Amino acid sequence: MEMGGKTVLVTGSTDGVGRYVAAKLASAGATVLIHGRDRERARTLADQIKREGRGEALFYQADLSQLSAARQLAEAVIADHGRLDLFISNAGIGSRTLGSERRTSADGHELRFAVNYLSGFLLAYLLLPLLKASAPSRIVNVASLGQHPIDFDDVMLTRGYTGTRAYAQSKLAQIMFTIDLAQELAGSGVTVNALHPATYMNTTMVREGGITPISTVEQGGDAILHLAAGADVAGKSGLFFNGMRQAQANPQAYDELARRRLRAISLELTGLPGA
């Protein structure tokens, strides 16, 4: 995908791998919709993009722990732009962000499930009309190799909670959604894929977890950019990648009944109709 003249939304793009990806897409000529919570970090990125002089950057502030904020973000993007060629769902929190104890979102949902999965699920559906109108277009869900099967009797992990399990469950949910959405979008010109960009990148999320980074932001960012713009993945959809290579996710991702149950729960929690 040539980026000149394209409009792209990258959630979680004021820091870490999202910031790297947003800057690269802008340097290739795209209008990049920066998303995050920190206005000052967004300003420094926008200034960097302006200095490089190719693309354009516009900032959208939203706290994706609130589904109402995800709705407002989608509404603002739709109101401001006549096209959306690429949506990279990158915003997320790690297994130890804000501490290791169980927390809930403003809507009462387990926090990692809410931020890492539900907000991206809602945004994707709200932005689909714009993505379809701009086809060929792409959705990239930034997931992880860390995946834990969902216990449908306790999706919100009220029992036996650990941050690691919560994070891994939310990332598997992203992949399950990717497979379902790809089937739904077949023939529309919109593709959707998920990936594990790199292991323990040198990001705030990894450092917050007390983990020594073993990969660079550039390694992970380039893997995301591959799915976002690579010619070799044009037309491919519903796949999971480990870095640059197609890979297999947790077996539950390929369980149609499990995906159907997750979809029903997700539609109910986000208040979407039977999309």
Ranges 46-60, 72-86, 147-161: which has the least confidence: 46-60
Active site residue 167: yes
Quick: pLDDT tens for 163-207.
999 999 999 999 999 999 999 999 999 999 999 998 877 676 766
Annotated active-site residue in 60, 117, 125, 167 = 167
99 contacts: CB under 8 Å, gap ≥ 6: none
Angstrom CA distances, 170 to 49, 85, 98, 197, stand at 32, 25, 16, 16
- Select the more confidently predicted residue: 53 or 151: 151
209: pLDDT strictly greater than 90 = no
Average pLDDT over residues 28-43: 93
DSSP per-residue codes, 134-201: T-SEEEEEE--S------TT-TT--SS--HHHHHHHHHHHHHHHHHHHHHHTTTTTEEEEEEE--SSB
Q: What is the pLDDT of residue 206?
A: 66
Best CATH choice for the domain 7-270 from the list 3.40.50.150, 3.40.50.720, 3.40.50.261, 3.40.50.2020:
3.40.50.720
Q: How many whole angstroms separate alpha carbon 41 and alpha carbon 232?
A: 33
255: pLDDT strictly greater than 60 = yes
Q: What is the pLDDT of residue 275?
A: 53
Q: How many whole angstroms separate alpha carbon 28 and alpha carbon 114?
A: 32
pLDDT confidence band for 208 (50 / 70 / 90): low
Quick: pLDDT tens for 100-144.
789 999 999 999 999 999 999 999 999 999 999 999 999 999 999
250 contacts: CB under 8 Å, gap ≥ 6: 147, 148, 149, 172, 175
Q: Are 50 and 25 in contact (CB under 8 A)?
A: no
44: pLDDT strictly greater than 60 = yes
Gyration radius (Cα) of the chain, Å: 17
pTM over 0.85: yes
Average pLDDT over residues 248-253: 98
Using N-to-C axis directions, what is the helix angle for 39-52 and 16-27, rounded to 10°?
Answer: 30
Domain ranges of the chain: 7-270
CA torsion angle for 228, 29, 59, 121 (degrees, to 10)? -20
Q: What is the pLDDT of residue 1?
A: 76
pLDDT confidence band for 2 (50 / 70 / 90): confident
Q: What is the pLDDT of residue 219?
A: 94
Q: Are 105 and 160 in contact (CB under 8 A)?
A: no
Cross-sheet strand order for the sheet of 137-142: 56-61, 31-36, 7-10, 86-89, 137-142, 190-196, 240-242, 245-247
Residue listed under structure tokens 């020594």? 212
**Quick one: DSSP state of residue 243?**
T
Average pLDDT over residues 154-167: 96
**Quick one: DSSP state of residue 104?**
B
